[in-house]
Amino acid sequence: MIPRTTFYSEEAANRRYSVLLAFVVLLVLAGLGFAIGYGVTGNLDTAYVVVLGAVFLSLLLTAGSYFGGDSLVLSVSHAREVTAQQAPQLFNVVQEMAVAANVPMPRVYIIDDTAPNAFATGRDPKHASIAITTGLLQKLDREELQGVIGHEMSHVRNYDIRFTLLVAVLVGSIALLADFFLRFTFFGGGPRRGGDREGGGGGGIQIVLFVVAIVLAILAPIFARMVQLAVSRQREYLADASSVELTRNPAGLERALAKIASDKEVLEVANRATQHLYIVNPIKKFESRAQGLFSTHPPIADRINRLRQLTGESPLDATALRQLQGLD
């Protein structure tokens, strides 16, 4: 007997896990800042200042991305806004899903590319946009299109874009802080005697923390990036479950995921900075630009099997699994 889950339990579990992962990234940023501050100066007050400085840097980067990130993503993706007269069926489906999700109608964009894919962007439901490739409109039927739009509308309703933005900024802050410290160390920086009567410090603890800071500066960006990708994958699972809630039809999304993943067309406008936004990873494994990349999306077979769990269906058989392996 296959255990049956509900989209409500899927949503709750993925939200908890995603928040936990974001908190871990924040702790890594604070820990790296503290180790650098104390390791270099041996002064607790300076260590706290470095931590606050790292957090302040994150806030500045967040503010810039919050107000201008969506326009940049749409511009880089060569997306053009369309009206209901230009794409009536698409607008009709988006309106249906917006009503089902109880969110304002987002702006609708089309990317002139034959590779089927889609993404959502924006800082909140009132400032959201959905971009769909022409290939998606040509190759999916209406039920499949509903599943994809339901998935993207779920990202809007669940504030996934804002959440992943926060995690991306934290990861970027860790990389910037680590790079600055390693450059400082390479060009002759090192522990400085910083013990004062109030702050304490220096000595063996300072040296230990300086070494810890070097190790963290090397490993923390890699670890933070892996956590970021884990958050991205969990949000995809969540959006899949939420799409079922909106459409009441897991079969449409299941077929859409299989079609998009199996399509051999290359989405030229996608890049490493935007690939995590798409419903299916647009950078195919056979492409040279895919080399050395961690996976930004869960395996398609796993996503489909989770959808099947929602209706109590059997998992994909061996033949179907073989067809989907290596596509994500």
Kindly report, residue by residue over 300-313, the tens digit of the pLDDT.
989 999 888 887 88
Instruction: Give the pLDDT confidence of 199-243 residue by residue, as tens digits.
Output: 445 567 778 878 888 888 888 888 877 877 877 888 899 899 899
Q: Which residue has the higher pLDDT, 45 or 99?
A: 99
pLDDT band at 12; cut points 50, 70, 90? low
Confidence grade of residue 197 (pLDDT, cut at 50, 70, 90): very low
For 81, other C-beta atoms within 10 Å of its C-beta total: 12
The β-bridge relationship of strands 79-81 and 107-111 is antiparallel
More confident residue, 216 or 106: 106
Instruction: Please name the residues in contact with 297: beta carbons below 8 A apart, sequence gap of 6 or more.
Output: 232, 233, 236, 276, 280, 281, 328
In which band, very low, low, confident or very high, does the pLDDT at 2 lie, cut at 50, 70 and 90? very low
Look at the alpha carbons of 158, 159, 164, 167 in this order and tell me if their dihedral is positive or negative: negative
Q: Which of 234, 222, 223 is nearest to 297 (CA)?
A: 234
Q: 171 by DSSP, 3-state: which?
A: helix
Catalytic annotation present for 152: yes
Of residues 152, 236, 245, 254, which has the active-site annotation?
Answer: 152
| 119-146: average pLDDT | 94
234 φ, ψ (degrees, to nearest 5): -65, -35
Question: Tell me, what DSSP letter sits at residue 293?
Answer: P
* Alpha carbon 198 to its chain's center: 43
pLDDT at residue 259, as a whole number: 94
DSSP-assigned letter for residue 85: T
pLDDT at residue 142, as a whole number:
95
Confidence band of 119 (pLDDT split at 50, 70, 90): very high
Q: Model confidence at 128, in pLDDT bands (50, 70, 90)? A: very high
Which pLDDT score, from 0 to 100, does residue 174 have? Answer: 84
pLDDT digits (tens, 9 = 90+) for 144-175: 999 999 999 999 998 887 777 777 777 878 88
Give the pLDDT of residue 59.
78
Q: Say which range, 90-99, 104-113, 173-182, 258-267, has the weakest mean pLDDT.
A: 173-182
At 1, is the pLDDT very low, low, confident or very high (cuts 50, 70, 90)? very low
Per-state percent for the chain, helix, strand, coil, to nearest 5 = 65, 5, 25
Distance from C-alpha of 126 to C-alpha of 206, rounded to nearest angstrom = 49
pLDDT band at 32 (very low <50, low <70, confident <90, very high): confident
Split at pLDDT 50, 70, 90, the class of 33 is confident
Q: What pLDDT is stored for residue 217 in this prediction?
A: 84
Is the CB of residue 285 less than 8 Å from the CB of residue 293?
no
User: Looking at the predicted structure, is the pLDDT value of residue 30 above 80?
Assistant: yes
What percentage of the chain has pLDDT greater than the value 90? 33
CA distances from 307 to 54, 218, 303 (A): 40, 39, 6
Q: Are the CB atoms for 157 and 269 separated by under 8 Å?
A: no
* Token pair for 63: 């503010």
**What is the phi/psi pair of residue 80, to 5°?**
-120, 135
Phi, psi of 191 (to 5 degrees): -60, 140
- Domain locations in the chain as residue ranges: 7-324
Q: What pLDDT score does 216 carry?
A: 80
